[in-house]
């Protein structure tokens, strides 16, 4: 099973535990996650975005400041903007926040339901899934020289044919190198791979 398939499989395990949806930000570096997945209702995510709650969210602050699992009801950080009360109006009444990984590459997940607190067993299961997602999506520490060359030539604005000629390889070889780099960086496009490689200081 490939890494992307493994991530999909783990998210499928998380889904039935999240009656009111989930949010997972994987490997947050330089304030931006490598990947995000979320299934909260569009009405809540729209409200959250429109009010710029990410900058004030006690769940994110908790996930950044500590690792482990904590029920939302146990979070003691102040919530001066009433974000948790707002979330409850959209059905996100009870939840668990899970955080893992070093500060330089932190993963934060939040899972919600409307009817009751999560049991200890559910919290342990959710924590295990988030931890496995963190490990499964570990970004590469390095790229091969060939992959770096391919990304750099494309980042310079060259088209495939000309970029391949400059590197002295075939266009299909250039595309193969870019495809490999995209897989390692969990990028859908070469432009996204270039940006992620820059963000992670790989090029």
- Whether the pLDDT of residue 31 is over 90: the answer is no
Instruction: For residues 203 and 198, give the distance between their C-alpha atoms in angstroms, rounded to a whole number.
Output: 5
Per-residue DSSP letter, 119: P
Please list the alpha-helical segments (H only) found in 58-186.
Answer: 58-65, 83-89, 120-136, 145-155, 160-167, 171-184
- Whether the pLDDT of residue 190 is over 60: the answer is yes
- Whether the pLDDT of residue 35 is over 90: the answer is no
Reported pTM: 0.79
Q: State the DSSP H helix or E strand holding residue 27, giving kind and residue range, or none if neither.
A: strand 22-29
- Whether the pLDDT of residue 58 is over 50: the answer is yes
Of 4-13, 70-79, 80-89, 118-127, minimum mean pLDDT range: 4-13
- Whether the pLDDT of residue 89 is over 70: the answer is yes
- Whether the pLDDT of residue 141 is over 80: the answer is no
Per the listing, tokens 């979070």 go with 75
End-to-end CA distance of the chain: 28
Mean pLDDT of 21-48: 92
Grade residue 3 by pLDDT with cuts at 50, 70 and 90: low
pLDDT more than 90, % of the chain: 72
């Amino acid at each position: 099973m490939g890494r992307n398939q493994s991530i999909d499989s783990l998210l499928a395990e998380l889904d039935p535990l999240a009656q009111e949806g989930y949010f997972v930000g994987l490997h947050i570096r330089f304030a931006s996650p490598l990947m995000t997945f979320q299934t909260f209702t569009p009405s809540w995510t729209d409200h959250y975005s429109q009010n710029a709650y990410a900058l004030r969210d006690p769940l994110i602050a908790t996930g950044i400041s500590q690792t482990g699992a904590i029920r939302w009801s146990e979070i003691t950080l102040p919530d001066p903007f009433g974000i948790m009360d707002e979330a409850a109006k959209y059905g996100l009444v009870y939840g668990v926040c899970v955080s893992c990984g070093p500060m330089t590459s932190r993963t934060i997940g939040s899972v919600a339901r409307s009817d009751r607190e999560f049991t200890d067993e559910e919290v342990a299961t959710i924590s295990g899934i988030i931890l496995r997602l963190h490990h499964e999506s570990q970004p590469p520490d390095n790229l091969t020289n060939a992959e770096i060359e391919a990304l750099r030539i494309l980042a310079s604005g060259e088209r495939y044919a000309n970029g391949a000629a400059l590197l002295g390889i075939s266009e299909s070889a250039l595309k193969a190198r870019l495809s490999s780099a995209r897989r390692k960086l969990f990028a859908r496009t070469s432009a996204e791979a270039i940006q992620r490689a820059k963000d992670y200081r790989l090029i």
